[in-house]
Amino acid sequence: MNVIAKVFHKVRRRFHRTEEEKALVRWYADHGDETLRVTYGLGPQSLVVDAGGFEGQWASDIFSRYVCRIVVFEPVSALAAGIKARFARNPQILVHDRGLGGRTRKESISVQAHASSVFTGAGQHEDILIWDVAEWAREEKVGRIDLLKINIEGGEYELLDRLVDTGLVGSIGNIQVQFHSFVPDAVQKRDRLRARLRQTHTCTWDYTFVWENWALN
């Protein structure tokens, strides 16, 4: 790409950003990771579920603020082992080395650090377990969930549908979710799920395909 073409490309991207790009710019300007994602009315009796724990940093930030109970789901074995080691001396944080989804099954996941996903084919693959959220809630006798964070690289659509279908969504105080646009028909799927969530929750902040939060009515 010659110099003129590069300049034109930069100008075009600056003034013709996609909605997702605009949302990301707003997110960073608002310092969303340091503010919105960790600001909730939680306390020591609260239950927080972290679906997609990665390295455990968000769980750590939440615990340091609220000293609450946290259940972390991370299906990639190396990441799950790292989170377990990180919180080995903290009985308030329970780590499951499996994912949370709409039905219990085995899957093959593409391991790519924070972008590991069953919906992409790049990178090394690993066999993982997905746990049906309804089965988990029943087996663990889970009542109210004060905050559910979902960042599972495309699996959020299936998980949220299951929560709504089973009525479990009505026992979740806040749902913090990152929808992913690489999933086929992602815009339509997100719109449909947002319509379903409005039956029980209100969207309190929204950065399209970056992060959004839904609070129980």
Instruction: Give a yes or no: residue 17 inside a domain.
Output: no
Question: What was the pLDDT predicted at 39?
Answer: 98
Classify residue 120: in a domain, yes or no.
no
Q: What was the pLDDT predicted at 10?
A: 53
| Strand pairing category for 145-150 and 172-177 | parallel
The pLDDT mean for the chain works out to: 91
Q: Is 62 part of a structural domain of the chain?
A: yes
Task: Tell me the pTM.
Answer: 0.87
Range with lowest mean pLDDT among 28-42, 51-65, 105-119, 142-156: 105-119
pLDDT tens-place string over residues 184-204: 999 999 999 999 999 999 999
Pull the structure tokens for residue 18: 């996609």
Q: Is residue 103 part of a domain?
A: no
Q: Residue 204 is part of which domain span?
A: 30-97+141-216
Least confident range of 54-68, 108-122, 127-141: 108-122
Tokens describing residue 175? 């749902």
Task: Give the CATH number of the domain where residue 195 resides.
Answer: 3.40.50.150
Task: Place 124 in a pLDDT band, splitting at 50, 70 and 90.
Answer: confident
b or e along 75-107 (b: 16 or more beta carbons within 10 Å of the residue's beta carbon)? bbeebbebbbebbeeeeebebbbbbbbbeeeeb
- What amino acid occupies position 107? E
What is the structure's pLDDT at 26?
97
Q: Provide CB contacts within 8 A for 33, sequence distance 6+.
A: 27
User: pLDDT-derived band of residue 135, with 50, 70 and 90 as boundaries?
Assistant: very high
Q: What is the pLDDT of residue 110?
A: 74
* 3-class SS string, the chain: CCHHHHHHHHHHHHHCCCHHHHHHHHHHHCCCCCCHHHCCCCCCCCEEEEECCCCCHHHHHHHHHHCCEEEEECCCHHHHHHHHHHCCCCCCEEEECCEEECCCEEEEEEECHHHCECCCCCCEEEEEEEEEHHHHHHHCCCCCEEEEEECCCCCHHHHHHHHHHHCHHHHEEEEEECCCCCCCCHHHHHHHHHHHHCCCEEEEEEECCCEEEEEEC
Does residue 31 have a pLDDT over 90? yes
Is residue 74 in a domain?
yes
Domain count, the chain: 1
